[in-house]
C-alpha cells in the first residue's frame, strides 16, 4: 500500500515537473495502480464538484450525447474521487458524472484516492486546460493560478503546455479588462482576439465604449486594431513600430499563433511556425489537419 501511495505521489509530482504536462499520463497512472477491488460504486447524490473547478459552463449538447452513450454502454472509465466530510469530492470525471445523472443513473464506478487542497486545485486546472473547451477567461484564470501557485515563469508555463510565450502573455492580459467586457467574452459576444486588442488600451471607459461598438456594429479585429493603434489613445505598452512590415501580417501572425499555440512569423513571402521538438511539431500538424501517410 505504501508503494502504491508513493507511485501516485510521483505521478502528481510529474504532472508539473515533466518538460511537458500531460494529464492523461497522470490519470492513467491512477488506473494502472488501482486493483479491481479499488473500483467501487458510489451514489451520485454523495458526489460534489471539485471546489477548485474553474469551469463554470458545460456544453449541454455534448453532455446529452455522452449521456446517451452511457445509457447504452454504461460508464466505461471510472471517475476519480476523494473522501470528504460529506461523501466525496470529484478529482477527475465531472462530465461523466453530469452525463450519468442525465442518463438516469443513481450510482457510478469510482476510484477513491487522497489528495490535499493544493493538489485538488492543480489537478482541476490541468485537466480543464488540456481536456475542456474553456472560454478565454476561464483558460486565462487557470494559467494565472498555476503561475501563482507553482511559482514558475510564463516561459516555463508556455513550454509545459505547448504554447507560445506571447499566447500566455496575451491571454492573461485580458484578465485586466473590466468585468463587463470579460462577460462579453464569456458570452462569446467578443472574441479572444477582440479582447486582446482592447487590453492594450489604458482607459477602461474607452475599452467599454469600443467593446459596445464592436458588438453593435460587428467590428472586425482588423478594424479594431486600427482604432487601438490610433496615437490619440494611450496604450499600456508603447509599441516600437517595425519598418516596412505589412500591418496585415501582424494580424495574420497573431491569428496563426492563437490557432497553433506557437510563435509565428510572416515575412519575405514566407510563413514560419516555430516548434521546439518533434512532439511539438506533430502537435502543430495535428492542429492544422496535416497527416503524413
What is the set of active-site residues?
Answer: 94
| Residue 89 C-beta-side C-alpha neighbours within 13 Å | 19
* 3-class state of residue 237 by DSSP: coil
Which position has the grid cell 516555430? 274
Alpha-carbon span 264 to 253, nearest angstrom: 5
Residues 162, 130, 125, CA angle at the centre, nearest 5°? 105
Give 272's contacts (C-beta < 8 A, 6+ positions apart).
264, 265, 266
8 A C-beta contact, residue 11 and residue 30: yes
> Do residues 126 and 21 make contact, with C-beta atoms less than 8 angstroms apart?
yes
Q: What DSSP state is assigned to residue 178?
A: -
Question: DSSP letter string over 16-69?
Answer: HHSSS--HHHHHHHHHHH--GGGEEEEEGGGEE--TT-------HHHHHHHHHH
CB atoms < 10 A from the CB of 119, how many?
Answer: 18
Amino acid at each position: 500500500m505504501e508503494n502504491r501511495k508513493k507511485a501516485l505521489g510521483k505521478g502528481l509530482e510529474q504532472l508539473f515537473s515533466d518538460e511537458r504536462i500531460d494529464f492523461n499520463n497522470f490519470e492513467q497512472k491512477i488506473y494502472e495502480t488501482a486493483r479491481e477491488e479499488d473500483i467501487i460504486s458510489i451514489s451520485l447524490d454523495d458526489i460534489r464538484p471539485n471546489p477548485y473547478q474553474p469551469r463554470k459552463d458545460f456544453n449541454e449538447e455534448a453532455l446529452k450525447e455522452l449521456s446517451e452513450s452511457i445509457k447504452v454502454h454504461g460508464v466505461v472509465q471510472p471517475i476519480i474521487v476523494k473522501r470528504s466530510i460529506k461523501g466525496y469530492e470529484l478529482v477527475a470525471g465531472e462530465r461523466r458524472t453530469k452525463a450519468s445523472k442525465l442518463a438516469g443513473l443513481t450510482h457510478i464506478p469510482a476510484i477513491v484516492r487522497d489528495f490535499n487542497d493544493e493538489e485538488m486545485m492543480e489537478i482541476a486546472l490541468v485537466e480543464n486546460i488540456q481536456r475542456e473547451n474553456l472560454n478565454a477567461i476561464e483558460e486565462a484564470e487557470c494559467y494565472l493560478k498555476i503561475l501563482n501557485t507553482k511559482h514558475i515563469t510564463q516561459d516555463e508555463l508556455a513550454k509545459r503546455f505547448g504554447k507560445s510565450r506571447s499566447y500566455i502573455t496575451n491571454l492573461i492580459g485580458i484578465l485586466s479588462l473590466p468585468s463587463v467586457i470579460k462577460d462579453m467574452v464569456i458570452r462569446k459576444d467578443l472574441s479572444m482576439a477582440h479582447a486582446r486588442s482592447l487590453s492594450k488600451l489604458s482607459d477602461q471607459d474607452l475599452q467599454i465604449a469600443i467593446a459596445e461598438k464592436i458588438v453593435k456594429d460587428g467590428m472586425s479585429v482588423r478594424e479594431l486594431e486600427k482604432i487601438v493603434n490610433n496615437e490619440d489613445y494611450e496604450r499600456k505598452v508603447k509599441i516600437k513600430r517595425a519598418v516596412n512590415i505589412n500591418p496585415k501580417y501582424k494580424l495574420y501572425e497573431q491569428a496563426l499563433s492563437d490557432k497553433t499555440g506557437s510563435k509565428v512569423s510572416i515575412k519575405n513571402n514566407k510563413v514560419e511556425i516555430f516548434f521546439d521538438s518533434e512532439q511539438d511539431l506533430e502537435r502543430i500538424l495535428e492542429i492544422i489537419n496535416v497527416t503524413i501517410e
